[in-house]
Structure formats: C-alpha cells, structure tokens
Structure 1
Amino acid sequence: MANLKSSGKEIQRLESQRLPAVEVSRLQTALEELKNCAATDCRPPAEMAVKMEAVGVAKANGNIWTISLLGILAGFFIGLGAMFCTLVTTDIQVGFGLTKLLGGVVFCLGLILVVLAGAELFTGNALMVASRASGKIKLSQLFQNWGIVYFTNLVGSLLLVAVVFYSQFWALDGYKVGVNALSIANAKVNLAFWPAFARGILCNTLVCLAVWLCFGARSTIDKVFAILFPITAFVACGFEHSIANMYFIPMGIVMAGQAKVLEVAGVTASQVANLNVAGFIGNLVPVTLGNIVGGTFVGSIYWLAYLRKERAAEAATARPWLTGMFSRPGLQPQQVNYLDAETKALISVLAKARDDSAFLAKLADNPDKALKAYKLTPEAKAALESGDVRWLESRVGVLDEPLRTWLTSRLAQEKW
C-alpha cells in the first residue's frame, strides 16, 4: 500500500508540472488498476452485475470476424477439455463417484482456456440477456451473436474431432480410449428429449454461475477456482452441454465406424445405430434449448437483483407494462447509484459537445476544465478526451444514431 501512496503523490507532482491532461488521466487510471490488483477480496455482486452488463454490450458490438475466430477457438478449447475427460475416465477403477469427479476436474480445462485465453462460448454468452434487459443491445444483436458463436463453436469442435481422429489418440490403451468415446456418445444420443432438456438447463446454470463468479475475480487464480467447482459439478452429475456434445457425439460417430473399436467394446453396429447425424441433431436441439433457459435464468436473476432499479426508467419507457412491477416495494434491488450517475454524465457531455460549439472548443483545448462539473471516473475522462467511441458505447450502450453519427464525423476530422 506504501507503493500506491507514493504513486498517488507522483501523480499529484506530475499534475503540478502541468502535463497534458490525457497523460494525467491515464496515470490516474493506472493507479485505480493498481488498487484493484492490491485488493484481496472479490468484487461485490453489484459490481459483478455491472461488469456482466458491460461485457454483454461489448460482445454485441464486436467485430463479426473477431467473434467468429474466437468462436472457433472456444469450440476447440471445450473439445480439448472433453478429450482430456475421455482419456482420464478410460478404464479407471476408482468407483463411480470418483470417476465422475476426476472427469469433471479435468474437463475444467476447456472453460479455463475460454476465460483466460479469450474465446466466445455460446453457453456463456447466454448472460448477454442482462444487456438486452437494460435496453443496451437490440434483440437482433443478441440473436446474431448467439447464431454466429454457436455455428463457429461447432466448426471448432469438428476441427478438433478431425485432428484427434488422425492422431490415433483413440487407439491408446488398446483402443479403450476409443471405446470410452463411443460409450459416452452412445449414451447421449439415446437420451430422451425432456431429460436432455432438463440436463441442459442444469448444466448451463452451473456454467453461467462459473462465468458470473469470474466477473468477481481479480486474479488468474481467482478465475481458475471460480471455474473449478461449478464445472466439475455439472460434468460429474452428467448434465448436458451443447458445445461439449459437439465434440463428444461426432467423436462417437467416427468411433462407430472403426471395426477395432467395436470389437474391443464388444458391441455390434446395430447397438450403436443411433450414432449418426440424426442422433446428433436429436441431442443438440433439446440440450441447446435447455442451455439457453439455464443461462438466461442466471443472467435475468442477477439483472433483477442488482440492475433493475437503475434501468427502470429506460425499461419502463420501452415497455410500459413493467412500470408497476418496478414500483413494488418488495422488489427493490441494492443501490448501484455511481454507475447511473456516470452514465448520465457521459451522455450529458456528449450531447452538450454536439449542441454547444463553445463547450466543444473548451473540451478540445482544456478538457480538465470542461469536465470539472461532471461526476466522471479518470477512465471516463480519458475516454472523452481521446474520443474512444468503443469504450463510451460499452458504458452507456449503443449511442442513438444522431449522436453517434456526429461523434464519428468529428473524430474523422480532428480530435474533437
């Protein structure tokens, strides 16, 4: 903490030397980040909800090609976790419960890679419903993201299946790894619709809780432990994850065509007849629907608990029938007033800059003085001074078209 204090004094010294305002703001932002790193506790749930909403906005406004590439990576990463799980649970003699537990622990590799390495996972993106509930993204943006990510997750999973097949990984331990892959997939394609749907709900409830806990994490190790227990639980309990099944079932379909695997497994082709494209789709449909319900449940509950009051005016304007619901005393959430104040301040600054040329000139020449009357964090000030449109939109949602057009045209000509 002594270092943080000295950093604060250094910023004050630099300010006294009249460094460019944007440089001072960047130093202040860096100091805030250092304070976050020094904190030992996780973020409180109210802050986690704010972060969940902001992440959803950023995802909805992300570049399609970037999202597609990250979607392929996520399918590949989850497949790696599924592959690891298949290996570890092959021919293991430690009892039913421990076998499931070990499989769940090693499967965590998939989500750890998604969260830490960076990737777009369909099941985790179900939490974007919070951004939609706040009116910060359009329904079309939500569905577009889900559609692109779901398809690219499938591409990544199938790519891994092809690589694993040609690697002869499945021939390990006298083809018993292939037998285990066959058994896992066969059980999944023979699961009835409603059990698959219910298991999909339970699965993505746990997956999204893991992602939710990661929003409260301040370090890498925090995120690993946030992922470990929920993901281990869903795998150990046999719940159904649509993206994991994009690896498990195609791998089983490939194994069903290997005579040596069938021989070691002691089964005939007729006993695994459901391992085909129809069986694959028959599993994906209920599991995907269940995953959407489970993830939407988590995102909606936390939005209602922590963000509803701050977004009530916006939501009530768009959906008048919600007005009565928001006004019920028993449904009042915790206060998160600072975000609401900053959001209003950001919009107010942008609108005034558009309508008042004198204020715009002051913002360009002396941003510290122009922004003095507004309640803004150092990060927000730095974004306004540098014209960071992407950051501004991630905080206030998509700007209305006239304001965004004006801002973009100004930045194309000069700083402001």
Structure 2
Amino acid sequence: MDYINPKEVANTMMVAAINKSKLSVKDLLIRGSLSGALLAISVTLAFMATSQTNLSLIGAFVFPVGFVIIVILGLELVTGSFSLVPLAWFEKKISAVAMLTNLFWVFAGNLLGSVLFALMFWSATTETGQISQIGAVEQLLVKASENKTIGYAQHGAAGLFSAFVKAILCNWMVCMGVVMSMTSRSTLGKILAAGIPIFIFFALGYEHAVVNMFVIPAGMMFGANVTLSDWWLYNQLIVTLGNIIGGLLFTGMGIYYTYGKEEKPVSSTIK
C-alpha cells in the first residue's frame, strides 16, 4: 500500500536525521543552496499569482511547488532539519558537534541560494539596474521586506514578539510538511501530503527564515527602506529562533515521542 503509518514515519524521521548528519559540507552547501533558490522562485511565483488575481489565497496555492521539489529530490532545508537533526542528538545517536555543523552549513547554503536568486531576479528584471520602474511583483517584495522588518520594529517588543510567534506557527506547519511527505511511497502522494501544510503557513502569512532570506534582501535591492541590521535584528535572527522552537517542539518531538518509542508490554498475573 502507498500509505505509511505514523510508527514507521517516526523511524524514518530518525533515520533521516542520522543520514543528514553524515553529509559532507560540500553536499550540505549544494543541496542547501538549491533549496534556498527553489523557495525563492516559489515566492516569486506566488507574488506573481497574487498580483495578477488580487487573491493572496491563489499565491498560497501555487507556493508549495518549490517545497515539494525540495522534498522529492532530497535537498536540504534548514527549517525542516530543525525538527529532525536535534532528535538524533537527543537520542545520543549523533554528537552535538555533528548536529551544529549540519545546521550551520545548511543555513549557510540556504542563505547563499536565496540571496543569489534575489540578485539574479533583480538583474533580470531591471536589466542590471538600467530600468528604474518596477512591476507589481517587485512592489510586493518591497512592501513585504519593509513589513517584515521595520514594520515589526515600529511596535517595539510587541512587534518582535509577534514575529517570533508567527515563526513558531510557521515551522510547525513546514515541518509537518516534511513529516507528512514520509507518509507516502508514491511521488504524487508525497506532493499532496507535503504541499497541504505549506499552503497553510503561506496563506496565513507566517514567518519562514529561508523565505525571508530571499524576500527581505530582494526588497532591499528594489528600493525597500531596510538596512542589513534591520533585516537581521528585526527579523532573521528572531524568526530563525522561532522556527527552531516550532519545528522541533510541535512537530519533531511531538510526532517522534508519541510514535517513535517502543511501548512496554503491560505485565499481568492470571490467578
């Protein structure tokens, strides 16, 4: 049968975490860069759909295409790894150094791919700065870049806490997409299972660290009133922390520790 039950999924989660920790720096950077670029392409597609239809729900509907490509090709997305790799460390199957090394290089790869695509998209759209007038997609990027940084900063601690909570909720769904993809053996099954939670997070406007690695610098390139310090202090660092908590606590630990542990048989005495 195509369906894989949750107990098998929990075992798959641990195997995946261990295998990820064994990847070389070269593989982590390559697979991480491809993932960052693919998510960036998906955001661009989603913004185009939104600008053409004036319906953000349509943008959210098409956004998961990049994520399902990442899942099917077995690429590396740090937000997904937040829910898996620490589990292997908790269970003493990998070292803390192996865990941190994996997460660091995948994060670096995601950042590299995201910013590289942002630069390529800017170059293609403006003919490397020769065209000053920007289109609807670029305007959405500028607006999103400002809303995700100085928009939160304007409300002080409450705004930053809002970004943190949105990041927790976001990666709860993103990592659910990672785990849901493990419930099917077929390509079509994986696409449907993985895509549903991703649609949810994007439609609700939550905060995803890797998506923001593209949206914010791309908006800056198109003229957003955002600085590098705004990007990192008012969004990237806070959102990354929230993504760690949401993915690990609500998905990785939640699924693994209810399905992944062997149940001890209940002893009984018959008189």
Runs ≥4 in structure 1, deviation > 4 angstroms? none
Corresponding residue for residue 197 of structure 2: 230
CA contact (8 A) 2:65 2:195 kept: no
| Gap change, CA 1:129 and 1:180, over 3 Å in 2 | same
Q: Report the alpha carbon displacement of residue 117 of structure 1 after superposing the two structures with TM.
A: 2.4
Q: Report the alpha carbon displacement of residue 174 of structure 1 after superposing the two structures with TM.
A: 6.5
What are the Cα deviations for residues 303-348 of structure 1, in whole angstroms up to 9, with x where unaligned? 2112234xxxxxxxxxxxxxxxxxxxxxx589xxxxxxxxxxxxxx
Corresponding residue for residue 50 of structure 1: 11
Does 2:268 match 1:307?
no
Q: 1:182 aligns with which of 142, 145, 162?
A: 142
For residues 142 and 100 of structure 1, what CA distance do their matches in structure 2 show?
37
Paired residue total: 252
Does 2:247 match 1:295?
yes
Q: Report the alpha carbon displacement of residue 64 of structure 1 after superposing the two structures with TM.
A: 1.7
Does 2:76 match 1:109?
no
What are the Cα deviations for residues 340-378 of structure 1, in whole angstroms up to 9, with x where unaligned? xxxxxxxxxxxxxxxxxxxxxxxxxxxxxxxxxxxxxxx
Q: 1:165 aligns with which of 104, 122, 125?
A: 122
For residues 134 and 254 of structure 2, what CA distance do their matches in structure 1 show?
48
TM-score normalised by the chain length of structure 2: 0.88
Q: 1:87 aligns with which of 37, 48, 57?
A: 48
What are the Cα deviations for residues 263-312 of structure 1, in whole angstroms up to 9, with x where unaligned? xxxxxxxxx53x12111102101100000001111111122112234xxx
Q: Which amino acid in structure 2 is aligned with residue 150 of structure 1?
A: F
Q: 2:34 aligns with which of 60, 67, 73?
A: 73
Q: Report the alpha carbon displacement of residue 84 of structure 1 after superposing the two structures with TM.
A: 0.8
RMSD of aligned residue pairs (Cα, Å) = 2.0
Corresponding residue for residue 106 of structure 2: 149
For residues 166 and 264 of structure 2, what CA distance do their matches in structure 1 show?
30
Corresponding residue for residue 128 of structure 1: 85
Percent identity among equivalent residues?
A: 27
TM-score normalised by the chain length of structure 1: 0.58
Greater RCO (Cα-Cα under 8 Å, separation 6 or more): 2
CA contact (8 A) 1:90 1:177 kept: yes
Q: Report the alpha carbon displacement of residue 177 of structure 1 after superposing the two structures with TM.
A: 2.0
Corresponding residue for residue 219 of structure 1: 186
Q: 1:251 aligns with which of 208, 211, 218?
A: 218
Corresponding residue for residue 385 of structure 1: none
CA contact (8 A) 2:134 2:222 kept: no
Q: Report the alpha carbon displacement of residue 75 of structure 1 after superposing the two structures with TM.
A: 0.7
The structure whose Rg is larger is 1
| Gap change, CA 1:176 and 1:299, over 3 Å in 2 | same
Unpaired stretches in structure 2, ≥5 consecutive residues:
153-158, 266-271
Corresponding residue for residue 59 of structure 1: 20
